[in-house]
Structure 1
């Protein structure tokens, strides 16, 4: 799975991963992150998600990254915000007051470019990546966000019935990826009958809280 795969999905409007509404687990559990208004929330592989508009409406500031530039442009159009566009290495940055979205490869994003963030909201990144890329993504995310707390939403389903993306990511794998950095609190399991091409799935919301660094 490479960049061309995702560009093709966007170009052909095969974006079933794009929810047309605010994610309800974000709505119900965002306060578990303990953020004050004005804090920065990082949304990796954000697309043009409606969750960003909602986070902004709650008084948070938002940073994100999305591979497909047209999705970033559409996001700002939906927000009715005029963005300042700059080139930073292989990435483009679309920014305005309280929002900063990078366009390009998430692995090209550095901590210096991203700057400080107070929390991560990951609904569409970890589950979008195949196994070998998840193993690369998790330590990269930890590095660029400096172990910021996460609200992580994953799907669980029978892997024999459906191949990703999205991929089924369960607790044992999350512990392998993040166990040294975070303590885990399962906030909710939401059963979604016939959700993924006729396959039953469960959406699981996790709060990942940083462990003290030795």
Structure 2
């Protein structure tokens, strides 16, 4: 189980996260919904241990370490003049067949330089690299941004596969429908606070929420 206890983050005089408490079981997909500035990315960076925070983040009753997490950021950086194949080789030396299979599903030209990929193609490439890391906790920050219709449905399939593999998945999105299709639970983050948590049976109550 992943346990977040009294997690707080402050920048100068602003409290970005305020005493967050959340428990997530293995094999559960949790959506994080909130307006821009609600604290979603700060939460993810705290989990990834790249942000100073107060409180505790525990994985199986021990302090969470970065080695237990894979993190797909909203914007992904790639070195110039590296091909898709070269990029993935860093993640998948012993999983080449699986890598090629995923690249073909996403229709990625692996011999092409990544700098010439569209934003959606870069997102797909970064996602494949993340999957190859095979971590128990997976964070996806706005994974559907810039991805075409077919790519969105492939993402749905991959997220379900992660669930079947008993992984924890946390997804942020301002598009409620994408979370309806993937999540077991949706957490509402407002002004650095968890204002509500909805289980799948109550998702219809979220239809009147608007986030951007």
Q: TM-score, normalised by structure 1?
A: 0.38
Larger radius of gyration: 2
Q: TM-score, normalised by structure 2?
A: 0.38
